[in-house]
Amino acid sequence: MLKESNWFKDKYMHITIIAGARPNFIKISPIINEIRKKQSEGVDIQYSLVHTGQHYDKVMSGLFFEELNIPEPDVNLAAGGGSQAEQTASIMVAFEKYLAQHPTDMVMVVGDVTSTMACAIVAKKMCIPLAHVEAGIRSFDMTMPEEVNRIVTDSLSDYYFITSAYAKENLKKCGVPDEKVFFVGNVMIDSLLTNLPRLHKPNEFDQLNLKEKEYIVLTLHRPNNVDDTDNLLTMLRTIDSNVGNVQVVFPIHPRTKQKLDGIDCSFPNIRFVSPMGYLEFIYLVKNSLAVITDSGGITEETTILRVPCLTLRDNTERPETCAIGTNELIGTNPQNLIPALKKLFSGQWKTGGTPELWDGHTAERIVNVIVEFKTK
Ligand code: UDP
């Protein structure tokens, strides 16, 4: 592979790292830290950070840069807003212009958001080697925009950094040769383990008089759960009426908030709060009795924190969180929550274990692989 390409012909190597949305910021932070560490050890590796602007407000973007000490992006493409197609198109147009003026040896995309796919397409069309971090995961649910993003990105990548053996199997089925796949572990868990000693108690903790292991955290933002307002209300009513007196803290995603704005509804046990910074949110999760969610990344974090996780989805692209971790797929039918909550309250939830290589050293392994390319 190296012999066929021109890259790394300069004396140092330059990587362009892409981030656009909340889960991306958590994934790039340890990679950037590791690159800086290598720089301080005298390794010739440089990077630029491109923020596509997919998430742009303080609570979904700015806070993460501050809390995770992510350096200011080299550029913000300000390509947020609009439909899936509009956003994809805006990111592609802006990133193509940027790349034309800022040559690089490798584009690195993370996760499965619109920015991941849009920048992958641009990089590949400009014949720049492409690395995908968190490659190969599949929900096999084509109604998820993220599944389309994963399939497109993985069909274009040159280097696949994966979190589990499942991902390797998925890539093999797509014809990706083993030598392009690197089982390195999970960068989300690098961030989690690094930041555990830095967690902040959110203001809401005392305001709501929360007590350790006596409240539930709720997050919902996937189109299947929130786009139909009636479904969303039924789900919230079911949660509200089956938790006894346990408080449910719901840091509400802007997409979900938009659906509920202006609707006259009351849920005595549910406390709606703003999306939180990472250090506050992980504090909240770590001390909770359980999490109810439709997020992917949160199922990984609850696995490591040994917090029971009830996932309101019919499938998952992270099966190891169920097979090994504390996660259980409850489905999107609100009725399924009733027996699951009974099981939780009876104290019978599994405690789970740790998936292989989710050990806090994933970014180190990724950057080592890249540095080895250079020196080969
Ligand atoms: N998260 C956060 N504040 C919140 C909710 C979530 O910092 O109020 C973090 C969470 O810890 C996880 C990530 O955001 O690291 C998950 O993002 P999201 O659920 O938006 O994306 P997904 O993982 O489903 O792609």
Domain boundaries, the chain: 6-185+358-374, 200-345
Say if CB 130 and CB 157 are below 8 A apart: yes
DSSP 3-state of 133: strand
Q: How far is the CA of 283 from the centre of ligand 1 (A)?
A: 13
Euclidean distance between CA atoms 316 and 342, whole angstroms: 23
- Same fold yes or no, 6-185+358-374 and 200-345: yes
Ligand 1 atom nearest residue 63's Cα: 7
User: What is the best residue among 281, 299, 318 to mutate for testing ligand 1's pocket, by most ligand atoms within 8 Å of CB?
Assistant: 281
- pLDDT for the residue numbered 9: 52
- pLDDT for the residue numbered 57: 87
DSSP secondary-structure letter at 59? I
- pLDDT for the residue numbered 2: 37
Residue with tokens 């996937």: 222
- pLDDT for the residue numbered 151: 98
Q: How far is the CA of 196 from the centre of ligand 1 (A)?
A: 16
CATH number of 200-345: 3.40.50.2000
**From 3.90.226.10, 3.40.50.2000, 3.30.70.360, 3.40.50.2300, which CATH number describes the 6-185+358-374 domain?**
3.40.50.2000
Euclidean distance between CA atoms 113 and 115, whole angstroms: 5
- pLDDT for the residue numbered 375: 64
- pLDDT for the residue numbered 265: 84
Low-confidence ranges of the chain (pLDDT < 70): 1-11, 374-376
- pLDDT for the residue numbered 359: 98
- pLDDT for the residue numbered 148: 98
Ligand 1 atom nearest residue 112's Cα: 25
Model pTM score:
0.95
Residues with a CB atom less than 6 Å from ligand 1: 22-23, 26, 219, 221, 251, 275-276, 278, 281-282, 295-298, 301
Choose the catalytic residue: 102, 221, 253, 361: 221
Q: Quick count: other Cβ atoms within 10 Å of Cβ 306?
A: 15
- pLDDT for the residue numbered 373: 78
- pLDDT for the residue numbered 11: 56
